[in-house]
Structure formats: structure tokens, C-alpha cells
Amino acid sequence: MTTDELPPRLRCVDGQLVKPNGQKMVLRGLSFGSWGQDDPVDVAQLVAMGANSVRIALRWWGCYHSPDVSARDNNAFAFLSRTHVRHWLDLITAASAAGLWVIPFIDSDCGQNGMQNPQTAQYCDPYGSFGSRGRNFYTDPSMRKLFTQIVWPAAAARLRTIARIALLEIHPEPAGDHDAQYAPLVSKLQRECIEAIREVDTDTPILLGARKGYDIKLCDEAFLSERTDCVYTGNLLHQWVMNPEKFDDGLETLVRMRKERGVPIYVQQMGRKSVDDRGLHYMRNALDRMAEADVGYAWWQWKQHSQGDESYALNYRDGAGMWNIKADEADALTEAWA
């Protein structure tokens, strides 16, 4: 297909995301981040709440809570499990058909760090060859090339045929807690991946963030001066939301990047643990501040794999295994998106 025959995409124009019709687009929605729990039928609830977007995970090469989460398959085309990709695409196409813009992301606990805990270190580097550095995309160039030159181009080629793909989030939360020496390594990976993707997808905007797991205070490190097709992000999870002064400091850093660099911005993860904010004071403050700053975000998250209502997710299983929604939090999001 030529570009004219493919679904139109958002564009980066003067520090804003712009729809194909030229109108400004501020993405607001939730994340589908719990593999095996999120379902295409869930999309209708997001639409009813007023969301205009959803961020959808595929997890590849990592020690996750269950061995069936990782989509890495060394015997499959592009090293991507057919079963996993089919479910990922089912979620994406259901969201697109319902009118939501979609941010697909491919996460890799090994690739981004590989040293999160002893179990992850053993899984990612079973022979102990990489020592205290861990085995990841920065220390093992063969895995970086596999991810950037094979996995992502294959995924991007398929995604380019689907309508309403808003952004491609190519390397979530990079480089763990690594210091500034890793900043150029993160940029190198991102440049390699973008160049490979652009062979099969010339125009879908790319979402980028800095090391230390998208540290919002370091967001400017991720800036690629040669590119005009990128959106920049930073995390605003629990520790930020629960401290309004810190939240404002982080948000202001990202907004300043938009102003000074003339680039679009978006917070790919915002949220807090419900157990620490039963009155929704901190949740509502965060939602209000994002609206005032005119910054889009994905609330973390829609469902969770564990039981109980203490954690981040809007939906949780009770002791009988039944899904329950935190109605007060859902109402707060609905109000914010009205």
C-alpha cells in the first residue's frame, strides 16, 4: 500500500499532536497493562467513560508474574509468539473500531534493565555472563538488534494497516536506575529502532522517554534534535501523584520541554495505589493539574492480575474471582474526560 491508501495518522505540529483533520488532539485514557486480564469487550467501558485513547501492552523477553506473559518465541516469525500477537491485535483492533486512538507498546523487563531483582537477573542472564551490568539491550548488542531490527519492524508493519494508531511506544521505561552514562545508549537504541520502523511505517509518531524508567525530570535527555516525528514522555506514578509539590515539579519539567523544544508531550503512565488515597484527593489533584497544563496521559491501569482493591488498577478480582470496578475512581475519570 502507498501512504495515501493507509489509515491517516496523527502529526506532530508546533508542540501539539494534530488529528488528520488539523484539530488538536490531547490523548486521555487508560492502560491495558495486565497480560491475560484485559479483554476486547472492555473497550466499550472505556468509551462510555469518555476516554479517547488506550495504551496496550505486549511483553517480550522478561521474567513476568507468569511464564505465559512473555511473547518471545525463538521459533516464531520475528521471534514473536503468534498467540500473543493475535491477542494484542485483537485488543488494538477492538479499540480502534470503537473510535479510540491506540498507543501500542512492547515492554521488555530484560531489555530495559535485567537487574530488577535476583529472579529477573537469573532469567535474563542465565549463565551470569554480564555480571553486575546485567544482560539487557545496552550490554548485549545482539538482543538490541533483534528487538530494534526484527521485532519492532515486524510489529510496526502490521500495525500500520490499522486505523487510529496514535503513537508507537518503542522502548518503555529504559535503563532502570542507571546513571548518565546510559543516556547516549538509550538514544542509540531509539534511533536504531526508529530508522528500522521507518522502512515500513513512514509517519506514525514515536513515543520516547529518558533513562531511569522514564524519569520525568530527565525528559529532555530523550530529545532527538534530528527528528520532528516524536512525542516525549515521563512517568508520574505513585510517588509523584502522592506528593502534589513533586507532581507539579515533574509536570512543569515536561511542559517546559514542550515550550522550549516545540515538541508534543504525553504522560504514558499516571496513577497511584488506591490504598493510600481512599478519598481520591491525590487522584483528583493529578487529573486537575493535567487538564490545566493541557497534557494527555494514560491512567495506570485498567485491570490487575492480583486480587484486592489496594493497588493501581481500576478493576480488581475479589476473593471469589469476580471482577469489581472502583466506581468512585471510574467516576473521577469520567468527570475529568467530560
3 pLDDT above the threshold of 60: no
Q: In what order do the strands lie in the sheet with 101-107?
A: 230-232, 206-208, 168-169, 101-107, 53-59, 28-32, 296-299, 266-270
pLDDT surpassing 90 at residue 65: no
Tell me the percentage of the chain whose pLDDT exceeds 90: 95
Query: Confidence class of residue 306 from pLDDT cuts 50, 70 and 90?
Result: confident
The answer, yes or no, to whether residue 165 has pLDDT greater than 60, is yes
pLDDT at 280 over 70: yes
CATH number, residue 228: 3.20.20.80
pLDDT of residue 16: 97
Q: How many domains does the chain have?
A: 1
pLDDT score, position 71? 97
Can you read off the three cell numbers belonging to residue 33? 497493562
Scanning the structure block, which residue is given the C-alpha cell 554480564? 130
- Rounded mean pLDDT, 300-329: 94
pLDDT of 285: 98
Q: Are strands 16-18 and 11-13 parallel, antiparallel or unpaired?
A: antiparallel
pLDDT at 4: 65
pLDDT at 2 over 80: no
Q: What does the alpha-carbon distance between residue 127 and residue 55 come to, in Å, rounded to a whole number? A: 35
Average pLDDT, the chain: 96
Banded pLDDT at 1 (limits 50, 70, 90):
low
For residue 35, what pLDDT band results from cuts at 50, 70 and 90?
very high
pLDDT at residue 5, rounded to an integer? 85
Average pLDDT over residues 122-143: 96
Q: pLDDT tens for residues 210-238?
A: 999 999 999 999 999 999 999 999 999 99
Which residue segment(s) compose the domain that 151 sits in?
3-336
Q: Which of 198, 192, 217, 219 is nearest to 208 (CA)?
A: 219
pTM of the predicted structure, to 2 decimals = 0.97
Mean pLDDT, residues 169-181 taken together: 95
Q: Please tell me the least confidently modeled range out of 146-155, 233-242, 317-326.
A: 317-326
pLDDT at 155: 98
In this prediction, residue 31 has a pLDDT band, given cuts at 50, 70 and 90, of very high
Residue spans of beta strands (DSSP E) within the chain = 11-13, 16-18, 24-25, 28-32, 53-59, 101-107, 168-169, 206-208, 230-232, 266-270, 296-299, 303-307, 315-317, 323-325
C-alpha to C-alpha distance for 227 and 58, rounded to whole angstroms: 26
pLDDT greater than 70 at residue 21: yes
Separation of alpha carbons 156 and 53, rounded Å = 18
